[in-house]
């Protein structure tokens, strides 16, 4: 579904009446990446690869890796504090925290609950898992609570520590991933602004193409597997297609977009999506050369950096689009307020 659904209210006569929707949008952004940089040159000492090969195939030059003492919750907390400061809010103003991640430190408690405690917030908290599409899934989920008026301020975080699950002897995957977190505060905005369209989807039949199997009894209990060729074909097709559907849901096309903020997985896939939307690369925000694929964190980190570098202005139409394991895809259209 790609339209916001109003809350139903029961009147005294028992009739169902619709309630006017509140427009939801992003009112604060922040991000945090580890200080430790792992370059392509360093990877040359670990596996049979080269800086030239990695850059040519992916566009990645380096990635960030957590150091001892850092973990997913600490990255998410730091990103959250920046987003709250940017929004002019305190943790006590929050009604809900959603963390999109596929690399939790624990099966339970949730990362969101750990972040809630670290921030000193007093609100609901849960994790959401849709792999690299997770942040957009969580953003749309949060927007529904705002739209119905049941909540005022929601913190949405996309955070990953992919390095915990990477097999550093597998050159097909270890070159791709990095760690980081990005956060957004979702609140009510003026009519005509905020999230004006979206598209969410999944095809579970492709789950084996990109997965991380957990084996609790083994020393190396989790390992990422990717069928690179098939995932690439899926991403090239679906990344552009989901963006088109989201734009069509609000009567727009690629020509109306001021900035595309895609999932940062592969420069070739990003260029393909831009071509599908008939957009020049000058209107696409790319930072994967610095961070690699941080899964659910790529879009909020990129969005936060785009704001910091003044790539987003009031009134701009911004499209977020991602794809990932599941297989999943997600896109959102925002009118920046």
Q: Annotated catalytic sites, by residue? A: 132, 263, 293
Q: Which two tokens stand for residue 269?
A: 């896939």
Q: Give backbone dihedrals phi and psi of 145, rounded to 5 degrees, phi first.
A: -65, -40
Region label for 61, one of left (φ > 0), alpha (ψ between -120 and 50) or beta (otherwise): alpha
Contacts for 160 with CB less than 8 Å, ≥ 6 apart: 72, 101, 102, 103, 179, 180, 181, 294, 295, 296, 297
DSSP H or E run through 12: none
In angstroms, the Cα distances linking 73 to 77, 96, 110, 223 are 6, 16, 9, 21
For residues 282 and 14, give the distance between their C-alpha atoms in angstroms, rounded to a whole number: 55
Q: Which two tokens stand for residue 261?
A: 């903020």
DSSP H or E run through 99: strand 96-100
The dihedral formed by the CA atoms of 163, 234, 334 and 152, expressed in degrees to the nearest 10: -60
Q: Give backbone dihedrals phi and psi of 162, rounded to 5 degrees, phi first.
A: -65, -30
For residues 282 and 259, give the distance between their C-alpha atoms in angstroms, rounded to a whole number: 9
- 280 and 274 in contact (C-beta within 8 Å)? yes
In the chain, count H helices and then E strands. Answer: 9, 15
Q: Which two tokens stand for residue 193?
A: 């602004």
Among positive and negative, which fits the CA dihedral 247, 140, 184, 304? negative
């Amino acid at each position: 579904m790609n339209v916001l659904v109003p809350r139903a209210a029961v009147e005294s006569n028992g009739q169902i009446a619709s309630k006017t929707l509140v427009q939801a949008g992003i009112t604060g952004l922040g991000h945090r990446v580890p200080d430790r940089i792992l370059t392509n040159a360093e990877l040359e000492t670990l596996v049979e690869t080269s800086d030239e090969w990695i850059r040519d195939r992916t566009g990645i030059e380096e990635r960030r890796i957590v150091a001892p003492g850092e973990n997913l919750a600490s990255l998410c907390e730091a990103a959250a504090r920046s987003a709250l400061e940017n929004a002019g809010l305190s943790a006590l103003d929050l009604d809900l925290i959603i963390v999109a991640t596929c690399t939790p430190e624990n099966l339970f408690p949730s990362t969101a609950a750990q972040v809630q405690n670290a921030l000193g917030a007093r609100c609901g908290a849960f994790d959401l898992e849709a792999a690299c599409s997770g942040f957009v899934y969580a953003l749309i989920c949060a927007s529904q609570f705002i739209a119905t008026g049941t909540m005022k301020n929601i913190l949405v975080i996309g955070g990953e520590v992919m390095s915990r699950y990477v097999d550093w002897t597998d050159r097909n995957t270890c070159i791709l991933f990095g760690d980081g977190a990005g956060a957004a505060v979702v609140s009510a905005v003026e009519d005509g602004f905020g999230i004006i369209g979206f598209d969410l989807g999944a095809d579970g039949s492709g789950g084996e193409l990109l997965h991380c199997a957990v084996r609790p009894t083994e020393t190396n209990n989790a390992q990422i597997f990717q069928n690179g060729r098939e995932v690439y074909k899926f991403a090239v097709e679906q990344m552009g297609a989901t963006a088109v559907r989201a734009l069509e849901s609000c009567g727009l096309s690629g020509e109306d977009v001021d900035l595309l903020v895609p999932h940062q997985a592969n420069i070739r896939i990003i260029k393909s999506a831009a071509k599908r939307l008939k957009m020049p690369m000058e209107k696409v925000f790319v930072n994967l050369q610095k961070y690699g694929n941080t899964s659910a964190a790529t879009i909020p980190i990129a969005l936060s950096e785009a704001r910091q570098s003044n790539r987003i202005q009031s009134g701009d139409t911004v499209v977020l689009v991602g794809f990932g394991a599941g297989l999943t895809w997600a896109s959102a259209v925002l009118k920046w307020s």
